Amino acid sequence: MTRVLLRLLGVSIIFGFHSLMPPPLRAQESAFVARQQKMAHLPGKVKSVSMVDGDLYCYASGVLLKAQRSGEQVVGFWADTAFVRYDEGVEYVVRNPQTGDIYYTKRDRKGRSGLFCVRPDEGSKPSRVKVGASGWFGNGMEVEHPTFTADGNIMIFSSLDGRRSNGGYDLWYSLFDGKRWGRPENLGKRINTQADECSPFIYRDCLLFASNGHKEDAGRMTLYSTRLISDRVVGDTVGMLQIGRCRIQRLPEPINSNGADEYDIAVDTAQGFSYWLSTRPSSDTDSQLFSFSGALDGVLLWGLVSDKYRHALAGVKVTARQGNEVVCNTYTDEDGYYKMYLQSDQYYDLAYQLDNYFVDFEEVNTAKATDEYLIAEERQDVTLDYLPLGERIFYDDLFGPNVDVELSERGIEILTPLVRFLNDNPTAEVQLSLVNDLTKDRTFNALLTDQRIQRLEAFIYPELPSTVKIDIRNACSGTDGCDAASGISRLTVLINK
């Protein structure tokens, strides 16, 4: 972390932007901001979401619907007739990334969910096969919400199998031997609880799933993630895989929200959009579709912004930049906390800005991706100092030793934030008064001050907008003069609105 500090009577303060700033440039919102998607065109409650070749699908009231999107935003839904030729009553559809085969689920007359596979052939009618019809797949075991690893050889799904489950819906996996799917194996008790685990989705090398049985959110559906393969594992081996051995992470806000049920997620990896279903008390509908832009894996930077008395500051604007590019910005909530989703292993310059407070500038190097958690979390708390508008601020010894007219390194360090402040506040009115009472010769002190003012002007003026009102005065001129040889070299700054 780095901060630019100014010394005022032995007290460190941070100099920066404040309420004199013009309206900020439009920057994109923080990537970790939930945006509710349009649901008006849906016929009823949405039960699942899935991604097929970059297309988003929802199942609502017995109809499989395809989302029409403009970028991240969903602008409507319509029934996709492409899957009608495969079968009627398709509830969930996904493609094996290696074979290209389409897998979908549908229910029989008894309400049991079965898994079917379609091998599309160009120029011929696609044929479908019920997976497990010949006893391969757990003797007719129900299958819901299948998802595949990148190599297409591992399928994970949810199933309500009272004979071998830990209770309620469990997550299971099956291995493909090149010809058929093997006998399903339970993912184990680290993932599966005595309640329900469902809606699996494989994102890169992580398994995302919903559960209402883990202690942190028992009784409410919540989305979690765990690594499929990791160097750091916990517990017993499950079959030939490390699934179920890695640590489990509760996905952070806004994906999970207190008081809401989050029960299904799908990620458009190519475009960097994530979508999830949520039932929230504020909604008039049974379920809502939410999204955010940006890669799901990364670093969640969060922290508390307060004043020197440890009072939380709400409404602080937090901006992250890389060079001159604004990556994202967000604001602290009523409790003074902010959250910002950033990429892993990157450098960012952060600015914390609130009216009538000095801005804090921080440099952040986000953590590298780990093999333990999908989303790393880093905390950075910040203290903002109140900006004394209309009060004089004093800075001593900005120049070299003795009667040097050049700014010292320390003087440059102090004045640089002042130049930045004036450049970003084109309506500012600032009075600078310089005094150099180094000898008993009033004329010499006044001449020395004139030369030092020239250096100040040469340093400050070139980058300033023409609208800035700045008045630099020689305090050794006039009837008062400087002839006490007090040894004082002081710049007084007065900022007015």
pLDDT in tens, 443-483: 999 999 999 999 999 998 887 888 888 899 999 987 677 88
Of the candidates 140, 133, 200, which has an alpha carbon nearest to the alpha carbon of residue 173? Answer: 200
The pTM for the full model equals 0.70
Q: Are strands 375-379 and 298-307 parallel, antiparallel or unpaired?
A: parallel
Question: What pLDDT does 259 receive?
Answer: 76
In the numeric block, the tokens 């799904």 are attached to 157
Instruction: Please check whether residue 330 is in contact with residue 338, taking contact to mean a CB–CB distance below 8 angstroms.
Output: yes
Residue 201's pLDDT band (cuts 50, 70, 90): very high
From residue 387, give the alpha-carbon distance in Å to each of 188, 314, 318, 336: 57, 16, 18, 18
* pLDDT higher than 80, residue 491: yes
Instruction: Please check whether residue 177 is in contact with residue 196, taking contact to mean a CB–CB distance below 8 angstroms.
Output: no
Instruction: Please check whether residue 43 is in contact with residue 76, taking contact to mean a CB–CB distance below 8 angstroms.
Output: no
> Mean pLDDT across the stretch 43-53?
81
Question: What pLDDT does 24 receive?
Answer: 32
Question: What pLDDT does 8 receive?
Answer: 27
Distance CA 351, CA 359 (A): 7
Distance CA 409, CA 414 (A): 9
From residue 247, give the alpha-carbon distance in Å to each of 109, 371, 374, 495: 40, 10, 10, 54
Where do the structural domains in the chain lie, given as residue ranges? 1-31+296-387, 35-293, 388-496
Residues whose CB is less than 8 angstroms from the CB of residue 230 and which lie 6 or more positions away in sequence, other chains included: 242, 245, 246, 247, 371, 372
CB atoms within 10 A of CB 465: 13
Pick the CATH number of 1-31+296-387 from 3.40.30.10, 1.10.10.10, 2.60.130.10, 1.50.10.100: 2.60.130.10
Helix 442-460 / helix 409-424 crossing angle, nearest 10 deg: 50
Distance CA 20, CA 30 (A): 24
Fold of 388-496: 60s Ribosomal Protein L30; Chain: A; (3.30.1330)
Fold of 35-293: Tachylectin-2; Chain A (2.115.10)
* pLDDT higher than 50, residue 134: no
Instruction: Report the SS3 class of residue 73.
Output: strand
Q: Which conformational region is residue 384 in: left (phi greater than 0), alpha (psi within -120 to 50 degrees), or beta?
A: beta
pLDDT in tens, 288-345: 888 887 778 888 899 999 998 899 999 999 999 998 888 888 899 999 999 888 888 8
Distance CA 86, CA 190 (A): 37
Residues whose CB is less than 8 angstroms from the CB of residue 211 and which lie 6 or more positions away in sequence, other chains included: 191, 193, 195, 196, 197, 198, 217, 221, 222, 224
pLDDT in tens, 385-419: 776 677 888 888 899 878 899 999 888 888 887 78
Task: Round the CA-based radius of gyration of the chain to a whole number and report it.
Answer: 31
Instruction: Please check whether residue 453 is in contact with residue 472, taking contact to mean a CB–CB distance below 8 angstroms.
Output: yes
